[in-house]
Amino acid sequence: MGDLTWDRHGPMGVANAKRNRTVLDRGQSLAALRKERIGEGESAVVIAAGPSLKRQDPAQTLLARGYKGAIVTTESALLYCLRAGLVPDLTVTLDPHATRIVRWFGDPHLSVDALKADDYFSRQDMDRAFADEMAANREILGLMDRYGSRIRIALSTSASQAVVDRVLAVGMKVYWWNPMFDDPDQPNSITAELQAMNRLPCVNAGGNVGSAAWMMATEVLGKTRVALTGVDFAYYDGTPYKNTQYYKEAVALVGEDNLDSVYIRLFNPDLGAWFYTDPAYMWYRQSFLDMAADSEARTFNCTGGGILFGPPITTLPLDQFLDDVIP
């Protein structure tokens, strides 16, 4: 699966990193973020944009409880947070796609023709605010123009030119980092080559932005008790295959009639419910469990859905995390 991830994202990410050398002076190294005191106490809440997000609505809980710890979001959860009136302390972006990821920041150049050419957002089980995509884009453009300068961003050097241009245009406070494309200790390592080129820290992001956000909370901000929300790595039973992220790749691999052979059903004993996932997210799940096992931080899954369970993860509701875990 690591090889497939490289095939899908690697060459594009490396090309982006080389191009972004010209704008590295518009931000700081991620190392500088470790010196900042972000949020009160030793806790953080990660907000990602999995299918549980709209069902559990963690932003309302955090606002109602007056949570003062660090809030770290994926870029895909920005619209959700800002619409709720929750301005995160830090957001994270990783994916190098040339045109899709900028949508989370508002795409000044989005057109109806572009939407017709790519149904990535419209077909997925994602934020219903994107149902009217042009209206949603206008909304996030306005929100980011208003709040962007208040938000720090851990900006991967793999980010597309569209994302970098938008981030700089709205005045986000940039902290650059390199994703680990391979083992930097191996001969001819691409990761080691990038690090030698730009001298920026390399971070094991677990292959996805949700895991990257957790890494920022635990290993960069140094938070010792971290709650996850919206980190599903799966879909609710009953979600049509067409509404999943890697549907088109699955169809290309095995055909429409054989999709049951690709998707994996898994019972979450902590929640007493079934979910299903695909090989990519199954790999992300295992990678996350491995990273969490190596961390000194305690991780609490407050997502309320999905398949991230088992040692060293503790599953509990977000309210209980706020009541019992935060000193």
Query: Rounded to the nearest 5 degrees, what angle is found at the Cα of 33, between the Cα atoms of 27 and 35?
Result: 130
Cβ neighbors of 139 (< 8 A, separation 6 or more) are 79, 83, 129
Nearest residue to 208 via CA among 176, 232, 240, 237: 232
In DSSP notation, 76-136 reads GGHHHHHHHT---SEEEE----SSSGGGGG--TT--HHHHHH--TTTTSS--GGGSSHHHH
Helix (H, G, I), strand (E, B) or coil at 188: coil
Length of the chain: 327
Tokens of 192: 């080691």
From residue 195, alpha-carbon distances to 64, 93, 176, 177, 181 in Å are 42, 18, 12, 9, 11
pLDDT value at residue 123:
73
Give yes or no for a contact between 226 and 213, defined as CB atoms under 8 angstroms apart.
no
Residue-wise pLDDT tens for the chain (327 aa)? 445 455 556 799 999 999 999 999 999 999 999 999 999 999 999 999 999 999 999 999 999 999 999 999 999 999 999 999 999 999 999 999 999 999 999 999 999 899 888 887 777 745 555 558 899 999 999 999 999 999 999 999 999 999 999 999 999 999 999 999 999 999 999 999 999 999 999 999 999 999 999 999 999 999 999 999 999 999 999 999 999 999 999 999 999 999 999 999 999 999 999 999 999 999 999 999 999 999 999 999 999 999 999 999 999 999 999 999 997
Q: What pLDDT, in 10s, does the model give residues 153-210?
A: 999 999 999 999 999 999 999 999 999 999 999 999 999 999 999 999 999 999 999 9
Tell me the pTM.
0.95
